[in-house]
Chain A
């Protein structure tokens, strides 16, 4: 199978390409960029005039809800959502039921995902057994089964001692540890940022120091143990400057932010909009602005969808009782582009934050269009405006703060290993 993508605006930040170029694909791999070689006779051509051709998106946080939460979403529905969002590689978090703490579960998930022939799925293994925060999992076994890193999703570790030991053990084998910085006791019972809006609405609050206190523990222990740590979903200005300082010290730390948090703040909670009940909470405008700047200067490496489909019953509850989370796979691209546009940056900067950079965090060979690499691509129309509507979202979760909002940038084709898995 030979495929030629003609006349598209190629954006491949990993290779420094941002120009009109053709892409030739053979047997699921990139053959070359630029005019097709003489004698190349494609079976199919895609005319990408007016479209952007970029590496398939790499998402660092997608909950596929299998096993255990099939009433919320299934692997089929969420992988279809990934395809519609241009996502070709995704890391799925271990907070399934049971959690991803045994090789058998990981193998089953990888097997099920592989049979769908959609995005590549990279499981994050549970750092502790049952995600209970106390006993370490058999990380090496889990790595062999396909886990690329280890984390706790949104569950806490029992103590600083367990965190220390987890980092020591992981770094022994050069495993990456993914942690979302949040002090459990300071966050306990909280559902919103400890600011003006929670005060007005009387919502139990999570202070910024729940994040910074945990960050300071993690950073100190990362320095102590030499562990490679990825910080998931940073939310505060203070947190961003702590990460920046840690990176300046040369620590092996990376960091991501959820696409919602790049654009929204506590103000968007309005009158108890449970679609804005997110983990971590949407913080102040100053925090949001610091996240946007952190992405620009590289303190924050990647934007993730933080995809968390929630069924209607779990959202149609008073704010504090409603389950946190939002569907996100189909919004990752337009929300990243919205960031670069609003920051007056070239769109390729946004593309880097959702392709090559997250691939580097994940440690997988993806997020670029280097000849010889897998032909995972996303082709999108940067001028196409579309309204986010429950009826048209592929994800089984219809919950997002952007419901009813018009966004710019729509995926037209998604390719995995040279196969067109989505056409919009």
Chain B
């Protein structure tokens, strides 16, 4: 399994499993294609016939209405048929294995699976197992990757900052448990961002995170200084029950983004968040709703980026 499992023998994208090891040309192509789809989504008729007749299965082993909906909209705007399956509630509890479920759905002539699973590596496993004509998109696997989120963040950054080569990007929050952070880091480094910082207390940083090509900061003021882009992460509620942080109040005090802390970054810095936000925990409402926040455009771009990924995958 040494070859990048998401590329075919011609080096084309066969599955989208992670932003790690994604060639720059493919990354750029996704962003460029998404740019064209933004045009489509701004029309009255937001639909193109590109994937007419294709069946896209949303396989959600972990519930997430929000992410599922964005994939569903993307697929429908490409004229594909979308089948939503909330598997957490059905066959898995009856003892059917993950791959049994996948085999069953494959025989219903699926063309593409969009997979969300609580275990890191689930999308790789499925991609490795399916018929060669089926495409797999990882919609989030455990702590590992959430590539379409990472890509839509890159799209948003490019929209506002144009060039990646002179940016300072700070990722703030629960890096340890975040698939979004991992996908952002790999995409940012591939796109040539010279300085990627992660800001978190030691309990929320994975071992040897600097090996991913990031600078580690524990002090938010220091980490935000002169940053161009602030990528805020969601703090999962279960972290508050464990010993990762003492309280949301203390977390907000040291790692929550307020107007005062935002002022330490560049005056034209932009603020992103993958949603859903915990206001008053990782981000203050004044920032979330303020002039430097691009959180709502992120959602719009997310549809275009997912349309781009689906159409590129379907065409390879």
Contacts and interface: CB of A to CB of B under 8 A. Distances in A.
Interface string B186-223: 00000000000000000000111101100000000000
B179 A202 contact: yes
B143 A317 contact: no
A317 B206 contact: no
Interface stretch (A12-20, A119-127, A266-274, A294-302): A266-274
Given A203-B120, A319-B121, A196 B142 contact: no
A194 B205 CA distance: 11
Interface in A247-276: 270-273
A288 B122 CA distance: 28
A272 B1 CA distance: 9
A214 B145 CA distance: 33
B145 A318 contact: no
Nearest to B121: A272
A273 B120 contact: no
Nearest to B145: A202
B5 interface: yes
B84 interface: no
Given A199-B212, A272-B125, A320 B207 contact: no
Main SS at interface, chain A: loop
Given A198-B207, A205-B206, A320 B212 contact: no
A318 B143 CA distance: 12
Interface string B116-146: 0101111011000100000000000111110
B18 to A, nearest CB: 9
A195 B121 contact: no
Contacts of A320: 119-121, 142
Given A316-B125, A317-B97, A199 B117 contact: no
Contacts of A321: 119
A236 B56 CA distance: 46
Nearest to B208: A196
B142 A272 contact: no
A202 B182 contact: yes
Contacts of A198: 206-207
Contacts, number: 78
Interface residues of B, number: 28
A318 B117 contact: yes
A352 B279 CA distance: 64
Interface in B87-133: 97-99, 117, 119-122, 124-125, 129
A313 B95 CA distance: 12
Interface residues of A, number: 23
Contacts of A199: 206-209, 211-212
B139 to A, nearest CB: 14
A10 to B, nearest CB: 41
Interface in A312-344: 313, 316-321
A389 to B, nearest CB: 17
Contact of B98 (A195, A205, A317, A319): A317
B20 interface: yes
Contacts of B182: 200, 202
A203 B211 contact: no
B65 interface: no
B103 to A, nearest CB: 11
Contacts of A207: 207
A194 B121 CA distance: 17
Nearest to A314: B97
Given A202-B145, A273-B1, A196 B119 contact: no
A221 to B, nearest CB: 27
B206 to A, nearest CB: 4
B207 A319 contact: no
A202 B179 CA distance: 7
B120 A202 contact: yes
A201 B121 contact: yes
A112 B182 CA distance: 52
A199 B208 CA distance: 7
B20 A270 contact: no
B237 interface: no
A195 B208 contact: yes
Contacts of A195: 207-208
A196 B206 CA distance: 9
Nearest to B206: A199
A194 B207 contact: yes
A270 B125 CA distance: 13
A275 to B, nearest CB: 10
A317 B124 CA distance: 10
9 cross-chain pairs, A with B, having the tightest CB-CB distances, nearest first? A202-B143, A272-B121, A318-B119, A202-B144, A199-B206, A318-B122, A319-B121, A202-B120, A194-B207
17 contacts: A194-B207, A195-B207, A195-B208, A196-B211, A199-B206, A199-B211, A199-B212, A200-B211, A200-B212, A201-B144, A202-B120, A203-B143, A316-B97, A316-B99, A318-B117, A318-B120, A318-B125
Given A195-B207, A199-B209, A318-B120, 16 more contacts: A199-B212, A202-B120, A202-B141, A202-B144, A202-B145, A203-B143, A205-B206, A271-B121, A316-B99, A316-B129, A318-B117, A318-B141, A319-B119, A320-B119, A320-B120, A320-B142
